[in-house]
Amino acid sequence: MRAPAIWLRDNCHCPECRHPGSGQKLFGVTDLPEHLAVEDEWDSGTDVRVRFSDGHVGVLPRGLAAIDGPPADDRAEDAKRTWTRAELGAPPTVDWTAYLGDPDVRITALSSVLRTGFVLLHGVPVRDRQVLDVAAGLGFVRVTNYGELFDVRVEDSPVNLAFTALPITPHTDNPYRDPVPTLQLLHCLSNAAEGGDSGLVDGFHAAAILRAEDPEAFDTLASTPVTFAFSSADAVLRATRPMIGLDPYARIREIRFNNRSLQPVPVHAGTARFYAAYRAFAQVLLRPELTLTVRLGPGDCLVFDNTRVLHARTAFASAGERHLQGCYADIDGLASTFAVLTRETSAADVLAALFAGEGAADYLGESVTVAEHMLQTGALAAAAGAPDHLVAAALLHDVGHLTGPISGNELMSGTDNHHDDAGADWLARWFPPSVTEPVRLHVAAKRYLCAVDPGYADALSPASVYTLGLQGGPMSEQETAAFEASPHHVDAVAVRRWDDQAKDPAVPTPVFGDFTTLIGRIVGSGQ
Amino acid sequence: MRAPAIWLRDNCHCPECRHPGSGQKLFGVTDLPEHLAVEDEWDSGTDVRVRFSDGHVGVLPRGLAAIDGPPADDRAEDAKRTWTRAELGAPPTVDWTAYLGDPDVRITALSSVLRTGFVLLHGVPVRDRQVLDVAAGLGFVRVTNYGELFDVRVEDSPVNLAFTALPITPHTDNPYRDPVPTLQLLHCLSNAAEGGDSGLVDGFHAAAILRAEDPEAFDTLASTPVTFAFSSADAVLRATRPMIGLDPYARIREIRFNNRSLQPVPVHAGTARFYAAYRAFAQVLLRPELTLTVRLGPGDCLVFDNTRVLHARTAFASAGERHLQGCYADIDGLASTFAVLTRETSAADVLAALFAGEGAADYLGESVTVAEHMLQTGALAAAAGAPDHLVAAALLHDVGHLTGPISGNELMSGTDNHHDDAGADWLARWFPPSVTEPVRLHVAAKRYLCAVDPGYADALSPASVYTLGLQGGPMSEQETAAFEASPHHVDAVAVRRWDDQAKDPAVPTPVFGDFTTLIGRIVGSGQ
């Protein structure tokens, strides 16, 4: 698709059009001619020049992507790695000392909040108000009527059930604010009480399950604004929003769910339908397979996306001491910290060094190196006419086998450092889920194909047959169904089939440099 | 409409269902039976009791309203008083000393931000960082990568055009954040430069004009998420949202408009249509009749809703000193401060005192008192079967003639204290626009009827004929069209016709107490 002249003109980078200091546009859309055509276009050697019918000569960076399709939105469901308890294994955990000392570990931790919805920091000093330091390191604290921070422990006259020993079902915090705090931190100072375990649920995944199982209920919750309210001596708060917030492309973007503060909904013919939908969503959120249970110990600090990840806690004995300090912040600040850290590394440069260095290692029992294997896989995808994201997934599917820069990732416990998860998590600093998730699933795809394609297992290499056993063998029927529910499973199977063919030392192998333009297209566009 | 049993059960206020300390619900929706019926219902003397089929006896406050229709949402367009420059006259202005000393003045100022979109504080001390004190008095400062506050003056290496002497067209700030700061403060420390005037535009009104004039353009902007971005040494921010944000009822709820930071939009068949819509909206925003110009002098502090009111500034000579300090905050905190202040006054109590006191005054040349006149007007509306909000508007249409509690309102300059505006502004602390706007328009309705209804002027009382001249005489054709564009004009005409009939000393007049239940229904429900 050719971009219209007005699009090219609006994206002109010449110093007349953009302020050199700030890079901001110096014109408004009404300053541009309404009827505009491109009269000439050439490559200047450093950029693309365009002569418009109004005489202006535009300067366009070569890499300026004319993307089709919905715009990338880091807050929408397709930018997330959704999860069940089983898919996640243990919670993504990062050691506080490593977090402070190693930018690569910080990148991993922040990426986990952005993509998976949370991270557990381990070994944070057990100190009053420490949670504010943690928050200030990843963004900006959002002060509310609770103050800069709040203490979660049993109080005599609680204004909120959080400050009792009662159990609390999965919820998002402060739905009665608008804007709602998008990030929450909970830092454990002591937890000697019986009970008081924390539960986490991926609300985006739960909403997607509701959409698949009961589309009418999903539509009802997405189209019904409801009011949440809170009142205390010094605050009266109300906000009116749907429980499931969608963007104009119907992508899930925000969950607000809190039984405690929901106000009476309007009474009309649709009220019974609303209650059925509310109940159906609440039932999905309570499914044990969606709840990851974490027992916070002193020094643990949970950081989570309060527009997506619901948290819960079991009842506890008010005799034993349990004390958390929490605060709110915003995820746009965290995303900025992540982007500032990652922009200092170029995906293409880091990967090129990795392919040339660690990549020269033997590939477990095969007669090609790891780098040759990945380059061949990428070449097969490109030869098949696969789209950019899928070629990249094929090219990069085994980066988790390499160490070096990925070693920072070893600090992520919880996934047992399977090379599929490790690689996907590490790639997430640059690449969107359309690349990382087929990488994550390419081992599962092997187990899947062994279950559904009788001829597949026969054609595996001896090394691959050996590792199949270690990886869990062919999938069960239940595992097969779960695998097929992933939006990325078809791409993962495609990567897997190229993967299996890419072990031939006799085949001409491309060099990494053949793929740098393609990588730039993906990383540059934020696609 | 009878509320379903599940609705009644979910709103039970008994101590088993609600935590006595916090008032929060102690159950989730899944704890309630799926199939539930009401078996018995009675009035206990203090509340309504309901026996449900699961044996639970529910306690429901008598005033618990079963509202039909879209839920009230203070952030949506129907909760706002939208404006053009002419409709607003001068900006709503509040004196800082009075603001500090008189809760009634604070209520007026905060109400102006919530309903009109902004207020101008006058006489704020010219002191470094003073803007933070102003913000802390009405909510909570939102810290960003700019820090707690930002200085708007000419800088050598600006990261943002705000910090140059260039003109800036109407825009909202920080559209590249999500959540966007919903409130902005700009405090003037000096303004000796030539130029540098501030402009304000009601973005909700501009969007409503676009919807009326070019519905396709409106739909395009409301359904196209676009990306705004900002990058500096310490921040990389991106947010993807439509320029016009709607709620599920298609009510306007948020404007994001900033030519400077808009990123390339996706290229597809709809791109040319997007640009036409973007241009159309920008053109509406630039109409002179929508722009209120304010020259900020030292000690002036603008407080405005950054999701609704766009601000602009003219170019200025960088030689003359111009220095503003600004900060961001959130409007939910301001709304909470407003609600805490107003909940201490009961609408019915204050109005009853007003009717009994000031209301006993003569009604300009008529043979009834002001109170009798208003009570008769309300009775006529009730007798005509008007809905609650319209009966209230009729009952209260002349409160602006009374002084007493309204005198705090005198500090609002800008409306010349016409009794229509003064009354509507004062009522806005409790009542929604469905009540306040017919009050605001009831004088205009007289001028309108004189223009469109030939028999109307003949039937006016002599005093009313006299005031018509002072009020501007019959409307011009242009004024008539503008009046008919208001969503409240039909109600205003209805109030006016009852108003004109309610001057008969011989008619039995109700007492104020006859209307307290109706007022409670409106104020209590937040309708």
pLDDT in tens, B4-49: 999 999 999 999 999 887 788 999 999 999 999 999 999 988 889 9
Interchain contact, A166 vs B26, CB within 8 Å: yes
Interface test with B, best of A184, A275, A291, A342 (most B CBs within 10 A): A275
Report the alpha-carbon distance of residue A92 to residue A98 in Å, rounded: 14
**In this structure, what DSSP letter does residue B123 have?**
S
On chain A, the residues whose CB falls within 8 A of the CB of B166 are: 19, 26
Mean pLDDT of the region B350-359: 85
- CB-CB contact of B48 with B41 (8 Å): yes
At residue B259, the pLDDT reads 94
Intra-chain end-to-end CA distance of chain B, in Å: 16
**pLDDT tens track for B399-426:** 888 755 454 334 333 334 467 888 888 8
Three-state secondary structure call for residue A128: coil
With the C-alpha atoms ordered A104, A105, A108, A109, is the resulting torsion angle positive or negative?
A: negative
Is the pLDDT score of A66 beyond 70? Answer: no
Interchain contact, A275 vs B7, CB within 8 Å: yes
Is the pLDDT score of B55 beyond 70? Answer: yes
Q: Looking at chain B, which residue has its C-alpha nearest residue A243?
A: B248
At residue B525, the pLDDT reads 42
CA distances from B238 to A112, A122, A435, B263, B271 (A): 18, 30, 21, 9, 21
At residue A376, the pLDDT reads 95
**pLDDT tens track for B122-131:** 999 999 999 9
Interchain contact, A339 vs B236, CB within 8 Å: yes
Mean pLDDT of the region B240-258: 97
At residue A408, the pLDDT reads 39
Query: Higher pLDDT residue, A119 or B72?
Result: A119
Q: Looking at chain A, which residue has its C-alpha nearest residue B3?
A: A267
Is the pLDDT score of A487 beyond 70? Answer: yes
Residue holding tokens 């003639």? B401
**pLDDT tens track for A5-29:** 999 999 999 999 998 877 889 999 9
Interchain contact, A75 vs B180, CB within 8 Å: no
At residue B87, the pLDDT reads 86
At residue A525, the pLDDT reads 42
Closest-CA distance of chain B to residue A160, Å? 5
Write the residue in B34, B225, B264 that is nearest to A64 by C-beta. Answer: B264
Confidence class for position B120, pLDDT limits 50, 70, 90? very high
Reading the block at residue B55, the tokens are 């044996």
Backbone angles phi, psi at B225, to 5 degrees: -70, 135
Reading the block at residue A100, the tokens are 């402070």
Report the alpha-carbon distance of residue B448 to residue B469 in Å, rounded: 13
With the C-alpha atoms ordered B203, B204, B205, B209, is the resulting torsion angle positive or negative?
A: positive
Closest-CA distance of chain A to residue B237, Å? 5
Interchain contact, B271 vs A7, CB within 8 Å: yes
Interchain contact, A141 vs B140, CB within 8 Å: no
Beta bridge partners of A184: A304, A328
On chain A, the residues whose CB falls within 8 A of the CB of B241 are: 247
Closest-CA distance of chain A to residue B33, Å? 10
Interchain contact, B236 vs A336, CB within 8 Å: yes
Interchain contact, A279 vs B29, CB within 8 Å: yes
Which residues touch B373 (CB under 8 Å, ≥6 apart)?
B363, B366, B398, B499, B502, B503
At residue B95, the pLDDT reads 96
DSSP codes of every residue in A343-387? HTS-HHHHHHHHHHTGGGSB-TTSSSBHHHHHHHHHHHHHHTT--
Interchain contact, A225 vs B236, CB within 8 Å: no
Q: Looking at chain B, which residue has its C-alpha nearest residue A181?
A: B179
Q: How many CB atoms lie within 10 A of CB A326?
A: 19
At residue A236, the pLDDT reads 93
**pLDDT tens track for B356-366:** 887 777 776 77
At residue B509, the pLDDT reads 92
CA distances from B248 to A241, A354, B70, B242, B527 (A): 9, 49, 9, 14, 18
Interchain contact, B268 vs A69, CB within 8 Å: yes
Confidence class for position B66, pLDDT limits 50, 70, 90? low
On chain A, the residues whose CB falls within 8 A of the CB of B67 are: 264, 266-267
Strands A244-246 and A322-329: unpaired
Closest-CA distance of chain B to residue A25, Å? 4
At residue A353, the pLDDT reads 84
At residue B104, the pLDDT reads 86
On chain A, the residues whose CB falls within 8 A of the CB of B269 are: 1
Indicate the range of A62-71, A247-256, A493-502, B335-344 predicted with least confidence.
A62-71
Report the alpha-carbon distance of residue A116 to residue A433 in Å, rounded: 11
Intra-chain end-to-end CA distance of chain A, in Å: 16
Report the alpha-carbon distance of residue A23 to residue A141 in Å, rounded: 28
Write the residue in B1, B24, B267 that is nearest to A267 by C-beta. Answer: B1
Angle between helices B419-427 and B433-452 (to 10 degrees): 160
Share of chain A above pLDDT 70, in %: 95
Interchain contact, B4 vs A272, CB within 8 Å: yes
CB pairs under 8 A between A and B: 270
- The average confidence (pLDDT) of chain B is 89
**pLDDT tens track for B455-503:** 898 888 887 888 888 888 899 998 898 888 888 899 999 999 999 999 8
Confidence class for position A419, pLDDT limits 50, 70, 90? confident
To which H or E segment does residue A389 belong?
helix A388-396
On chain A, the residues whose CB falls within 8 A of the CB of B328 are: none
- The average confidence (pLDDT) of chain A is 89
- CB-CB contact of B214 with B278 (8 Å): no
Interchain contact, B259 vs A161, CB within 8 Å: no
Closest-CA distance of chain A to residue B118, Å? 18
Closest-CA distance of chain B to residue A235, Å? 5
Is the pLDDT score of B214 beyond 90? Answer: yes
Confidence class for position A171, pLDDT limits 50, 70, 90? very high
Mean pLDDT of the region A129-150: 97
Q: Looking at chain A, which residue has its C-alpha nearest residue B35?
A: A276
On chain B, the residues whose CB falls within 8 A of the CB of A158 are: 19, 21-22
Reading the block at residue A293, the tokens are 């249970």
> Alpha helix (H) ranges present in A116-264?
130-138, 203-213, 215-223
> How many alpha carbons lie under 13 Å from residue A106 in its C-beta half-sphere?
19
User: What are the start-end ranges of the E strands in B166-313?
Assistant: 168-171, 183-191, 198-202, 225-232, 235-242, 244-246, 252-255, 291-294, 301-305, 309-313
Write the residue in A22, A160, A266 that is nearest to B67 by C-beta. Answer: A266
Q: Looking at chain A, which residue has its C-alpha nearest residue B242?
A: A248
At residue B1, the pLDDT reads 57
Beta bridge partners of A201: A291, A310
Closest-CA distance of chain B to residue A333, Å? 8
Interchain contact, A179 vs B177, CB within 8 Å: no
Is the pLDDT score of B57 beyond 70? Answer: yes
Closest-CA distance of chain A to residue B513, Å? 28
Closest-CA distance of chain A to residue B290, Å? 16
Share of chain B above pLDDT 90, in %: 63
Write the residue in B34, B235, B264 that is nearest to A11 by C-beta. Answer: B264
At residue B408, the pLDDT reads 39
Confidence class for position A1, pLDDT limits 50, 70, 90? low
Judged on CB neighbours under 10 Å (0-12, 13-18, 19+), B132 is: middle
> Alpha helix (H) ranges present in A139-248?
203-213, 215-223
At residue B464, the pLDDT reads 80
